[in-house]
């Protein structure tokens, strides 16, 4: 656990040192959401109806902006090889990197989501459910994205390949994340959707670090 905490602090320091990456993710998220009223019109009912879907899609795309660099910097400077030789499982190293990615991208997106939801006139009852759904869904996006980032490590045009690999796997999270908000707005319980999102997160925690570590070993050979 001390190794895990040390790796997490290291990645957080590197991310904060290169703060433009996190700012770029949040800026993309804000701009993508704000553009929608210009495209669909200023109708309050229309914007409120599509608000959850717009915010979720924008958050999904924004979280992918920093995925390609998740392992790339350590791969280029040789740090990844040293980490792979360290007396700690590569799966834990991957998990620490995913946690740092979520703290520097997913968490700022969650913090910005309520303000953007107000811009789209999302009702208050849907606002807090949106935050809860994002809190359960965005870690899954980071975990699944780490598998894709490890698979394309060292390849040319990795960003395009990463999008093709990861986007189809994000669709279930998107469906149930938006569905939870819509259920609340219809006056029904969103508990089944939240439980499914929680199941996705537990499944990703159980499988993705091992899949990412296997892909990293393959890239380092």
Per-residue pLDDT tens over the stretch 32-79: 999 988 888 778 888 888 999 999 999 999 988 888 778 887 787 777
Instruction: Please give the Cα distance from 158 to 137 (Å, whole number).
Output: 24
Instruction: Please give the Cα distance from 198 to 201 (Å, whole number).
Output: 5
Domain that holds residue 124: 2-220
Express as a percent the part of the chain with pLDDT over 70.
95
Closest CA to 113 of 173, 63, 52: 52
Name the domain count of the chain: 1
Q: How sure is the predictor about 195, in pLDDT bands with cuts at 50, 70 and 90?
A: very high
Residue 162 has a pLDDT of: 85
Dmax over Cα atoms in the chain, in whole Å? 58
Residue 158 has a pLDDT of: 66
Give tens-digit pLDDT for 119-154. Answer: 898 988 889 999 999 999 999 999 999 999 888 887
Q: How sure is the predictor about 194, in pLDDT bands with cuts at 50, 70 and 90?
A: very high
pLDDT value at 3 more than 70? no
Residue 77 has a pLDDT of: 77
Residue 53 has a pLDDT of: 92
DSSP symbols for 26-49 = HHHHHHHHHHHHHHH-S-HHHHHH
Q: How sure is the predictor about 1, in pLDDT bands with cuts at 50, 70 and 90?
A: low
Residue 204 has a pLDDT of: 94
pLDDT value at 161 more than 70? yes
Instruction: Please give the Cα distance from 114 to 128 (Å, whole number).
Output: 8
Question: Mean pLDDT score of the chain, rounded to an integer?
Answer: 87
Residue 45 has a pLDDT of: 86
Instruction: Please give the Cα distance from 141 to 207 (Å, whole number).
Output: 13
Residue 43 has a pLDDT of: 81
Helices in the chain by DSSP H: which ranges? 2-17, 20-40, 44-64, 69-77, 79-85, 90-101, 107-119, 124-151, 158-185, 191-220
Structure tokens given for 30? 């804000």
């Amino acid at each position: 656990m001390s190794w895990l905490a040390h790796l997490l602090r290291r990645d957080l320091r590197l991310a904060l040192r290169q703060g433009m990456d996190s700012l770029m993710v949040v800026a993309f998220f804000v701009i993508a959401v704000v553009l929608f009223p210009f495209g669909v019109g200023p109708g309050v009912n229309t914007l409120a109806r599509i608000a959850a879907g717009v915010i979720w899609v924008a958050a999904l795309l924004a979280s992918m902006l920093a995925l390609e660099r998740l392992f790339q910097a350590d791969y280029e400077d040789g740090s990844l090889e040293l980490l792979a030789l360290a007396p700690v499982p590569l799966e834990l190293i991957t998990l620490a990197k995913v946690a740092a990615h979520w703290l520097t991208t997913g968490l700022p997106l969650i913090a910005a989501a309520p303000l953007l939801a107000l811009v789209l006139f999302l009702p208050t009852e849907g606002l807090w459910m949106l935050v809860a759904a994002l809190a359960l869904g965005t870690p899954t996006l980071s975990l699944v994205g780490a598998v894709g980032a490890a698979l394309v490590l060292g390849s040319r045009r990795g960003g395009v390949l990463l999008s093709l690999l990861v986007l189809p796997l994000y669709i279930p999270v998107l469906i149930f994340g938006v569905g939870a908000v819509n259920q609340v707005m219809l006056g029904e319980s969103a508990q089944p959707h939240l439980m499914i999102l929680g199941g996705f997160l537990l499944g990703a925690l159980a499988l993705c670090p091992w899949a990412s570590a296997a892909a990293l070993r393959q890239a380092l050979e």
